Every structure is written in structure tokens, then in C-alpha cells.
Amino acid sequence: MNPTATATTAVYSTTDDIVRNLSLVRDEIADTAAKIDEQQVASLARHISLTGRVFVAGAGRSGLVLRMAAMRLMHLGLNVHVAGDTTTPAISSGDLLLVASGSGTTSGVVKAAETAAKAGARIAAFTTNPDSPLAGLADAVVVIPAAQKTDHGSSVSRQYAGSLFEQVLFVATEAIFQSLWDNDAQPAEELWLRHANLE
């Protein structure tokens, strides 16, 4: 069958399918998040809390998760930029580049880290691969023990492609935000004043 052909047969999911897969996704996220080294996450969070601007860079769905993290860090009052946006300034010494790549080899993300390193910026990375080029460039690495997106049929996850990495990346960045906020003492009402009002 041609993979680009449009399917002519409708595909349906039963209630049993949904119940089974809600459990699958929930359990895989919980199991994988429990295997993350909390010290790695704490080290990365310390880099975020240091003075300087925070830049985020990621491709695809990992990049979308980092955009969500950037929004939460902005709510805390940090000076945050998303790489590739037209108003993003040059990164420089004292800044932090926060990146994510399951494989640790995504070319645009590795290139961004190389540029940040040359500029004297710190690099914090999320990846499944501690031996990857991206991890090698980073000052702080959080290893998420999930399948890479090309690990089809992996015993690590039954989900498609890099879904588990991206899901746990979201959980980890939310835990970092929550931890920073716990120690910040700003009331939720103050954070809300920074929320976008041009939506």
C-alpha cells in the first residue's frame, strides 16, 4: 500500500480501546518519570535560576514542549526567548540555552548548542542518549529513559515514535517550574499579570 495514499476505510476506536490506551500512556509516563535522576533535574533547575537570559531550542514536538516551558518561565518573570522567533536576540555569555532532543543528534538543536557554547553560554539538555553529541556539549544533562523516535517496536515503549520522551519531557519541565515557583514566593495572581493578553 502506498503510504501517501488516503485511506478509504474509516477507523474506529471502542471505549475499551480508549480505556486500555489511557492506562498505557499513564503507566508509561509514570514508570519513566520515576526512573529520572532527580539530581540531574535539580542541577538543570539551578542553571535556570542563575542570572542571565534563558533561550529554548528544540525541533518538532520536543520544541513545542520547550515552548510551553518557556511560557511558564516567563510567568516567573524570567527573561526567556525561543530560538528561531524573529525577535530573539543573540545568545551570549551568562545566558542559558535549554534544549531537548531524544536522540541527542537533531542537527538544528546540536548546531544551536554549538553556537551557544562558542558564545560562552551555558547549555542544559534533555535527551535519551547520555553519549550523544548534544549531551557532550551540555553543562547539565537530564536523561529521560524513553525510546527514541526511530526505535520502532522498542520494548521501552508501546507508543509511536518519540511520544514517551515528549510526554515525560513535559512532566519534567512542569516539575522544574513548580519547584522554582515553590521557592519564589510570588503569588499566582502576580504570575497571572504576566500572562499573554493579546491572545
The percent of residues in the chain predicted with pLDDT above 90, rounded, is 83
- Better-scored residue on pLDDT, 91 or 152: 91
What are the residues facing 2 on neighbouring strands? none
Please report whether residue 2 resides in a domain: no
Give the position of cell 541527542. Answer: 104
Which H or E element spans position 97? strand 96-100
d(CA 91, CA 110): 15
d(CA 141, CA 138): 6
How confident is the prediction for the chain on average, in pLDDT?
93
Which ranges constitute the DSSP H helices of the chain? 15-34, 38-49, 60-75, 107-118, 133-137, 163-182, 188-192
Residue 5 has pLDDT above 60, yes or no: no
166 is catalytic: yes
Q: 50: which 3 cell numbers?
A: 542563575
d(CA 167, CA 114): 26
What are the residues facing 141 on neighbouring strands? 125
Residue 1 has pLDDT above 70, yes or no: no
Give the structural domain span for 145.
37-189
Q: 125: which 3 cell numbers?
A: 539538555
d(CA 58, CA 197): 25
The pLDDT assigned to 10 comes to 81
Please report whether residue 181 resides in a domain: yes
Please report whether residue 25 resides in a domain: no
Please report whether residue 4 resides in a domain: no
Q: Can you tell me the mean pLDDT for 187-195? A: 96
- Better-scored residue on pLDDT, 51 or 39: 39
Please report whether residue 102 resides in a domain: yes
The pLDDT assigned to 195 comes to 95
Q: Can you tell me the mean pLDDT for 81-89? A: 97
Please report whether residue 10 resides in a domain: no
Handedness of CA 71, 46, 115, 62 (dihedral sign): negative
The pLDDT assigned to 199 comes to 80
Which residue among 28, 38, 114, 166 is the active-site one? 166
pTM over 0.75: yes
d(CA 169, CA 175): 10
One-letter amino acid for residue 162 of the chain: G
Residue 7 has pLDDT above 70, yes or no: no
Give the count of domains, the chain: 1
Please report whether residue 12 resides in a domain: no
Q: Can you tell me the mean pLDDT for 143-157? A: 79
Segment 89-121, tens digit of pLDDT: 999 999 999 999 999 999 999 999 999 999 999
Closest by Cα among 104, 166, 108 to 134 = 104
Residue 46 has pLDDT above 90, yes or no: yes
Give the CATH number, domain containing residue 95.
3.40.50.10490
Please report whether residue 19 resides in a domain: no
The pLDDT assigned to 182 comes to 95
Listed range (15-29, 43-57, 60-74, 144-158) with the worst mean pLDDT: 144-158
Per-residue pLDDT band at 4 (split at 50, 70, 90): low
Per-residue pLDDT band at 154 (split at 50, 70, 90): low
What are the residues facing 58 on neighbouring strands? 100
